[in-house]
Amino acid sequence: MTRGNVTTEMLRHVPDAAEAALAARDAMQSASRRRAVATETAHHLIDNAFAVEKAEKDAASAELAASIRRLGAKAVPVDDIADLCHLPPHSVRALIDQPTATIERVLSADPAREETHQIGAR
C-alpha cells in the first residue's frame, strides 16, 4: 500500500525512529545536566581549594612570624634571620620589635618589596 511517496513499510519504521529520536533527545539533555552538575561541583572544589590555601598560608605566616620572634629572642642577628627567611632586614626587625605585627602588614609597609619582588631578589 502506498500513500503518496510513503509506503506501509516506511510507516512501520516511523514509531521506532520516533522512539530513537526521543531517546537521543533525552540523552542529550541528560548529558547537559551532567555537565552542569560537574561544572558546579568543580567550582565548589576550586572555592574550597582557595579557602584551604588561604588557611594554610595564614597558619604558615603566623608560624613564620613566631619563629622570627623566637630567633630574635635568642639573639640571632637580624641580618641572619633575614637571609634565612628571605625577608628584608627591616621587616624582620619590625616583626621582632612589634609583637602584634603580622608578616603581611610588615611586608605591605615595605616600599622596596615591590621593586625587589619584580627583580626576583628575596
Task: For residue range 52-81, list pLDDT tens digits in order.
Answer: 999 999 999 999 999 999 999 999 999 999
The domain total for the chain is 1
Residue 101 pLDDT grade (very low, low, confident, very high; cuts 50, 70, 90)? confident
pLDDT at 7: 63
Mean pLDDT across the chain = 84
CA 26 to chain centre: 35
Claim: this prediction has a pTM higher than 0.85: no
DSSP sequence for 78-94 = HHHHHHHHT--HHHHHH
State whether the Cα torsion 108-112-117-121 is positive or negative: negative
Domain assignment of residue 22, given as a range: 2-119
Dist. CA 101–CA 110, nearest whole Å? 13
